[in-house]
A and B are shown apart, each in its own frame.
Chain A
Amino acid sequence: MRVVIADDSTLFREGLAMLLASSGVEVVAQYAEADQLVRALPQTRPDAVILDIRMPPTFTDEGLVAAELIRGQHRGIAVLMLSTYAETPYALRLLGDGSGGLGYLLKDRVDDVGALQDALRRVIEGRLVLDEEIVAGLLAHRRHSDELARLTPRERSVLGHMAEGRSNQGIGSRLHLAPKTVENHIAGVFNKLGMPASTDDNRRVLAVLTWLRAAGTGPGDVLAPAGRAAPAASGGQATGTSPFG
């Protein structure tokens, strides 16, 4: 695997490069700014880029802008965002187009080189990868408590892994379940939550995310573009109007 890294924190960037190198990932180049990384892509030709989000010059969303640019112009290059914060709106902004080869993880995950390698491998394979903290936050939200209560604990963890972007096989190996059992659980989840079943893994991620986010947001807030991931039924939750009168 050939990767390039852009992160303005030298300390973290070099630690990450060292860690990746030690586990057999070839770090082709490192940059302190996203612009330099994008400009050098025709020369570096990596399998994946690893991007921070807050970088010079404005320290706001340079990484996201660069990611969108790379996904527009270099379809073959996978993008893995490594950020200090796990912000759901950022994740949805990136994942919204439904095409794979994209990941969004907390920088904290670098303490587990296996997980990092796994995420890199999955994005290079064209899958979507979402940090467990974002998924946990969405699952923890009170507005879904009634519907989620209908799921078994096993089904709930399957839902979480689906949201993180794992395949049936990945879920099976994480939960030590046979593929057939995983399929049954997934069918149960889709059935109980009224989500349309999808065989495409990436579409499935978006469908789950959309369902998790659907309720409680303002009117007119379409999280997934129409025609791609069909937004799951919002479960009859009131949206945008005061429930108190």
Chain B
Amino acid sequence: MPHPRLPGRLSACAARHRSLCLAVSGSVTAALSVACQWRSFGPSPFAASVNVAVALAFVLTAAMLNGEETLGSVTGALALGGLLWPLSWTAGWETGPSALLSTFAYSHFWVCIGWGVLRYPTGQLRTNGERALLAAAVLVVPLANLGLIGISRPAWFGYREDANLWWYGEPIGLGTFHLIVDVLDVLTVVLSVLFLVVVRNRLRQYSELDRRIFQPVAIALLVAFLIAATINSVAYNPSGPSIGPEFTAVSLTLLTIPLAFAAAVLRRMFVRARIAQQLATLPNPPTVGVVQSALRSVLNDDSAEILLWLPEEEHHVDATGTPRQPPGPRAAEVITELRTSTGSPLAMIIVAPAMRRNRDLVTAAVQTCVLALENARLHATVAAQLVAVSSSRARLVEAGLHERRRLERDLHDGAQQRLLALATRLGLARTKATDPDTISAIDAAREDLRHALADLRSLARGIHPAQLSQGGLRPALETVTTTLPLDVTLDVTQERFSAVLEAGAYYTICEALTNTVKHAGASRAVVTVRRRGQVVRVVVADDGKGGAMTVDGGGLAGLTDRVRALGGALEITSPSGGGTRLAADIPCEPPAVTSPVWGGAAVAAPRVRHVVPLDEGGVDPCV
């Protein structure tokens, strides 16, 4: 069995001196083709010329593609095929070993091409089925052909009776011979069909990128195989200087194989151009998610992932912002570590193992990503800090609310009950007292105690009205507005919200109403609390003199801060003489921690901290 691959060193040398290699291999092939067919140019000049073209096309294409990583395993097969094809036509010599040489070369040519295709792209046969198919092909095509010589006469092969040929073996009966030939013809067609099935399955298993690149080659090869197998049942193999039209058809089909390879190379160039173009037109600022989907699209690899390194948190996160541990050094995936322009770690890019053959394309793609990712990380960091600030502010608000409720509870359970118990004792003393002086002293004490209790009650209510937790905004606001010296109309939803939102809205409204009483000179106010989707809209409007201004450290600035701490926004409209209107929109959910940097996915805050040991040895520092 001939080895259809040029030895590695020879191949490397040829890649280094490509022009020289092209010139030498071209001349040698041309000379060889002409020499092999020197007797055929007379009877069939066109067919002979086409054969020269086929040999040249095969060998030159092999020389051109030599060094193309993805096609490495087929270039050898192409080169060898380019040498075997002209040798097949030595049949025209009709002398000495020419018949044996021709049969050997012609049958091996097909096996060689088939093997080259089966070895694409890993350089190995994958399954026992493939090995069996190849073994059967070797048995049916070259060995059977050589065996047929041993049981036949040259004339049965189509040679002239008087040709002076080396021949071996003893001929058997002509009928039996034809029967064996027919069986072998059928087997050849079956093998071609099986080969077609195997290649089709292989194409399915290729990465999308490989498939796109290799499809034209595969189709050209399959067509050539099928035509050759069909012709094989009519004309056996070259057997004289005259080349029949059926062989011309095969030769012309074979010419499409190098063309298909040229198409494959073109396709790769297109892919490369597409990578540059797609990654160059990312939106600004790009999100990790967008960069990742662009990468997936250009590499046709839906498993491609970008794990961004966050130096502050010392862990990687995926495109959704979830902490992730990069795959270990033994992972099958192709891992590329990206570094920033200053050399610090930026990200890991992980693509499917099948992409290993297209390493150059992966490298080109990830290098184009560096700037976009650096940009995205900057935005991510800022967004994360923003999230941290707003969540710590939300925690402060909640802690404040908690503290207020605790204080109110302590007052209620402690001082208030103690003073109320004192009231029962005074009441008892009052019933027992008979002396008028004592009675008046007790009455005075009772009066003081009532004031103390009333003061304490309004203090506790101001700290946190129990009504608010119990009944929500509406009853709490009804109670608090009853005592105000202006007419307050309430249009407040009965719906309940989170304790933080209710307390925030309550104090905002109370402060707004206090401002109205103090500064607006209003006679009426309207308080509206309504839910609009995921937002609660609070409006406090009065008919006062307007002209309210937000001053640093002033009441309105405090209100703005209060609403912002709830993740909301406050709008103040106060035209001079036209009343004052405060409108606050407070989100029903606690301050949202969504960041556009992760492609819209929510970032959990606080994030779980994962420290990932970076095994630099395990990754391919591609950049």
Partner-B contacts on A (CB < 8 A): 9, 11-12, 14-16, 18-19, 22-23, 54, 59-61, 84-85, 87-89, 107-108, 110-113, 116, 137-138, 140-143, 145, 216-219, 238-244
Partner-A contacts on B (CB < 8 A): 409, 412-413, 416-418, 420-428, 430-432, 446, 449-450, 453-454, 457, 461, 466-467, 469-471, 474-475, 478-479, 482-492, 524, 526, 528, 541-543, 579
Indicate if the CB atoms of A142 and B487 lie closer than 8 Å: yes
Shortest Cβ gap from A191 to chain B (Å): 24
**Interface on chain B toward A: helix, strand, loop, or mixed SS?**
helix
User: How many Å lie between the Cα of A243 and that of B449 in the bound state?
Assistant: 42
Indicate if the CB atoms of A12 and B417 lie closer than 8 Å: yes
Residues of B within 8 A of A12 (CB): 417, 420-421, 424
Indicate if the CB atoms of B487 and A216 lie closer than 8 Å: yes
Indicate if the CB atoms of B416 and A16 lie closer than 8 Å: no
Residues of B within 8 A of A54 (CB): 412, 466
With A61-B470, A218-B491 in contact, is A243–B484 under 8 Å at CB?
no
Smallest CB-CB A-B distances: 4 pairs? A15-B424, A9-B417, A89-B475, A11-B421
| A-B pair number, CB within 8 angstroms | 131
With A9-B417, A88-B482, A243-B489 in contact, is A22–B541 under 8 Å at CB?
no
Instruction: Tell me the nearest residue of chain B to A14, going by C-beta.
Output: B421
User: How many Å lie between the Cα of A141 and that of B488 in the bound state?
Assistant: 9
User: How many Å lie between the Cα of A9 and that of B491 in the bound state?
Assistant: 37
Instruction: Tell me the nearest residue of chain A to B528, going by C-beta.
Output: A242
Instruction: Tell me the nearest residue of chain B to A213, going by C-beta.
Output: B478
Indicate if the CB atoms of B450 and A111 lie closer than 8 Å: yes
Indicate if the CB atoms of A19 and B492 lie closer than 8 Å: no
User: How many Å lie between the Cα of A238 and that of B526 in the bound state?
Assistant: 11
With A12-B421, A143-B487 in contact, is A111–B430 under 8 Å at CB?
yes
Indicate if the CB atoms of B482 and A59 lie closer than 8 Å: no
Indicate if the CB atoms of A87 and B423 lie closer than 8 Å: no
Indicate if the CB atoms of B469 and A11 lie closer than 8 Å: no
With A12-B417, A12-B421, A85-B466 in contact, is A243–B478 under 8 Å at CB?
no
Indicate if the CB atoms of A22 and B428 lie closer than 8 Å: yes
Indicate if the CB atoms of B428 and A137 lie closer than 8 Å: no
Give the residue of A19, A61, A138 whose beta carbon is less than 8 angstroms from that of B482.
Answer: A138
Give the residue of A15, A87, A240 whose beta carbon is less than 8 angstroms from that of B489.
Answer: A240
Residues of A within 8 A of B543 (CB): 243-244
Residues of B within 8 A of A87 (CB): 467, 475, 479
User: How many Å lie between the Cα of A18 and that of B471 in the bound state?
Assistant: 34
Residues of B within 8 A of A18 (CB): 424, 428
Shortest Cβ gap from A36 to chain B (Å): 19
Shortest Cβ gap from B475 to chain A (Å): 4
Give the residue of B417, B420, B541 whose beta carbon is less than 8 angstroms from that of A244.
Answer: B541
Instruction: Tell me the nearest residue of chain A to B423, going by C-beta.
Output: A111
User: How many Å lie between the Cα of A243 and that of B432 in the bound state?
Assistant: 56
Shortest Cβ gap from B574 to chain A (Å): 13
Given contacts A59-B409, A143-B487, 17 further A-B contacts (CB under 8 A): A12-B421, A12-B424, A19-B428, A23-B431, A85-B457, A85-B467, A87-B467, A88-B479, A112-B430, A113-B427, A113-B430, A138-B482, A141-B487, A218-B474, A240-B489, A243-B526, A244-B543
Residues of B within 8 A of A110 (CB): 420, 423-424, 427
Shortest Cβ gap from B285 to chain A (Å): 43
Residues of A within 8 A of B469 (CB): 60
Indicate if the CB atoms of B424 and A84 lie closer than 8 Å: no
User: How many Å lie between the Cα of A239 and that of B418 in the bound state?
Assistant: 42
User: How many Å lie between the Cα of A11 and that of B424 in the bound state?
Assistant: 10
Shortest Cβ gap from B3 to chain A (Å): 86
Shortest Cβ gap from A172 to chain B (Å): 25
